[in-house]
Amino acid sequence: MLRRTPLRSFATCARRAKPVPSVHPTGPSGDAVVQPPAARRREMKPFSEFLTDGFGRQHNYLRISITERCNLRCVYCMPEEGVPLSPPAHLLTTPEITYLSALFVSQGVTKIRLTGGEPTVRKDIVPLMRGLGALRSQGLKELALTTNGLALGRKLDAMVEAGLTGINLSLDTLDPFQFQIMTRRKGFERVVETMDRILEMKKLGARLTLKVNCVVMRGINEAEVVRFVELGREKDVEVRFIEYMPFGGNRWAEKKMVSYREMVELIRAKYPDLHRVRGHLNDTSKTYQVPGFVGKVGFITSMTENFCGTCNRLRITSDGNLKVCLHGNAEVSLRDVLREANEGRPIDEAAFEAMRAIEREQQHSGILGDTPLGWGAREARLLGVIGQAVRRKKEKHAGIGQLEKMENRPMILIDRATRTPWSHIPSHLLSPSLHTHQLRFASTWIRNSRRQQEPVDPGSRRSFKLRKMFLESVKHFITELDDLLRFVRLALFAVLSKKQVSEMQERDVSPDELAEAVERALTPPALTPPEHVLEERTLDDLRTIYSPEWGQWVPGQGCEFGVQGKGKVDGRREFSTSSRRQNEGDDEAGKGSQLTHLTPTGTAHMVHVGGKPWTARSAIASCEVHFTSAATIELVRSAALKKGDVLAVARIAGIQAAKLCPSLIPLCHPILIDGVDVDVEVNEGMGRYGGVRVRGTVRCTGPTGVEMEALCAVTGAALAVVDMVKGVDRGVRIEGVGVVEKRGGRSGVWRADEGTE
């Protein structure tokens, strides 16, 4: 009989086994007898009772989160505002991780995966891997890593030497620009370089497996599924598509999830021979392959077809909690039990060695019993806590309908058993894509409704059901609107000039920060109504700003919470921070001498235009640039200035200035411009030395005029002329800026020399 290590004598059976002889049995010739595999399996001890749950599942796979930090901000993983990081003293130290890993390996764990956050941002990850790699002599077979690949390249060689055997690379798009949208950071090229480096090491003989994990979300990256499959045409890589799962802060909605069967149909539309292949025992993915391809395709179907029946995974969070189910919120602290001997303080290398020395002395004196790692009562207590948690593991996690309502950690933190309801989070911590008046709706309305509504009669099921349906529809509406706004903000990049975008990119500004800069430029200071006031128009504004179809999610007239809705509204550009409503028949210029941008208290606000009809509108403005040097006009006419063609540059500057009008004029509405024409002409008869006459025409279809856009166009063009000629004509000046014609709206046609027709 082969010699067995005593490491698992404490944990693998209910009673102590007889001592194992210290020498190998020998045959007649004195050689060690090598028994056949079947005989060895019969003599093997049963799997650890501490890692076996009530349904007979044996957990030999441990995932350890070694950090909460990450160098990306993936939309499905981390809330946009980030996550509150735990104090360093709350996180597991390297000696603590190594000890807990050794304890689990002693009980039968054969695979450990390091996760995060992003594990490669941990400074001591390589020494940690060396410590874990040493556990191969005690039964560990696989040491894997899940990473985004950004910081892996420079550490990869050292990790492989330390014992790394598998890498899961998280990559959700093959489009560099989409990568920035989904991760809110740059770095696509580095991830691709890391993937190529891993494949190169495999060709050179490194025993590494490479899998690419892709979370598929409807409307975002499902069109790239086939492109990901084609990665495996010539590369030895398994691409695994993951169904979008709900975690704290990722704004999950079932309609965003692309099911496994949908993805298979997408692939078979191009590769009809895609077929199922045999996977590994306890594998979480369903494995497929396209004939002729080197790589494989996997589908992780946590939402539609769970694999709970063969689950063999346990998780330790970065703050030391044991989590027996990814989608469960039950956790137990191993860190607190481990640190009891160190008065609750983190155990560093020095403290660990001091504690080990004491334990060894007690063991030699016979005080300690025989335990797997020789830590006596503390080790026994840890195993007891682990065993109780594992035995309480449920047969399967909740379904889709329940998961989205459960409170769970954000994916990046997978010791917060609960989290603050989103409706009570301060507005400055909410997504920047919600404007001030929307935040007031989100944070105040629900609170006021709870305070003001009368108790519902438990016997009135109809009333209760209607109330519940209304709350759910509003919640769904807010979620969908926020997601829409994220992409609207990204589309607004166009309002910045190419130079501004280039400058921001040189400073390594993320797409999200760039979008926020655009939003701040376009959004005027908003007046927030008192917290005890809920304006009737607020919900209507939210519903009609972007699309009339949002009306279907919100009740109309007669809503029991007192919010009046008007159904679908034609005006798509409703946007208001006013504390009062404008009458739909109000003239654009106001009534009489009243300034429409002022409230009765004298404070400024943006005029409400949501109720006005959409009509074709246009405005023409003009100005003059007067030269004070005789040589200037000829240099401009012949395009002989060092800076180039003055007239061409001025025309482009005028068009760009018209588009940037809402950024320059605080209370001006952002509008969709149909067209901008800027004419810049040399005029010798203008003043003593001649000059340039600028005329700008702006057109749009909407509820408000474009006079300010026309004025911005001619002013921008004139300023460009001044900038181009100021080196040869320091006295150049701009005169006569004004609107000369306006068409559209209730005021009809207006000309500067004739008045209103």
pLDDT by residue (tens digit) across 288-320?
999 999 999 999 887 777 668 788 999 999 999
- The whole-angstrom distance between residue 218's C-alpha and the CA centroid of its chain comes to 15
Question: What Å distances lie between residue 537 and 89, 127, 294, 418, 479, CA to CA?
Answer: 49, 60, 59, 34, 19
Residues designated as active site: 723
Question: What Å distances lie between residue 150 and 146, 171, 256, 271, 318, CA to CA?
Answer: 12, 11, 27, 32, 20
DSSP string covering 386-399: HHHHHHT--SS---
Q: From CA 404, how far away is CA 244, in angstroms rounded?
A: 11
Q: From CA 501, how far away is CA 486, in angstroms rounded?
A: 18
- Which of the two residues, 5 and 174, has the higher pLDDT score? 174
Locus of tokens 């010539």: 234
What's the pTM value of the predicted model, to 2 decimals?
A: 0.51
Report which of 327, 324, 239, 230 is spatially closest to residue 286, judged by C-alpha positions. 239
Q: Are strands 615-626 and 733-743 parallel, antiparallel or unpaired?
A: antiparallel
Spatial strand order in the sheet of 755-756: 673-683, 691-702, 615-626, 733-743, 750-751, 755-756
The band of 610, judged by pLDDT with boundaries at 50, 70 and 90, is confident
Domains of the chain (ranges, CATH numbers): 49-391 (3.20.20.70), 426-553 (no CATH), 615-756 (3.30.70.640)
How confident is the model at residue 438, as a pLDDT?
A: 34
3-state secondary structure 248-305: CCCCCCHHHECCHHHHHHHHHCCCCCCEECCCCCCCCEEEEECCCCCCEEEEECCCCC
Residue 691 · residue 655 · CB < 8 Å: no
Q: What is the mean pLDDT of residues 43-53?
A: 75
Q: What is the mean pLDDT of residues 437-455?
A: 38
Spatial strand order in the sheet of 61-65: 275-276, 285-289, 296-300, 238-243, 209-216, 166-170, 142-147, 111-115, 61-65, 313-316, 321-323, 332-333
Query: Longest C-alpha distance within the chain, in Å?
Result: 123
Res. 475: pLDDT tops 90: no
Q: List 206's β-bridge partners, or say none.
A: none
Give me the chain's average pLDDT, please. 73
Q: What is the mean pLDDT of residues 506-519?
A: 57
> Following CA atoms 399, 404, 406, 407 in sequence, which dihedral angle do they give, to the nearest 10 degrees?
140
How confident is the model at residue 353, as a pLDDT?
A: 85
Locus of tokens 């099911």: 259
Q: From CA 737, how far away is CA 714, in angstroms rounded?
A: 8
Axis crossing angle, helix 707-725 with helix 630-637, rounded to the nearest 10: 110
Query: Can you give the C-alpha Rg of the chain in angstroms?
Result: 34
How confident is the model at residue 275, as a pLDDT?
A: 95
Res. 572: pLDDT tops 70: no
- Helix or strand holding residue 738 (H, E): strand 733-743
The band of 90, judged by pLDDT with boundaries at 50, 70 and 90, is very high
Task: Indicate the SS3 state at residue 689.
Answer: coil
- Which of the two residues, 507 and 707, has the higher pLDDT score? 707
How confident is the model at residue 508, as a pLDDT?
A: 57
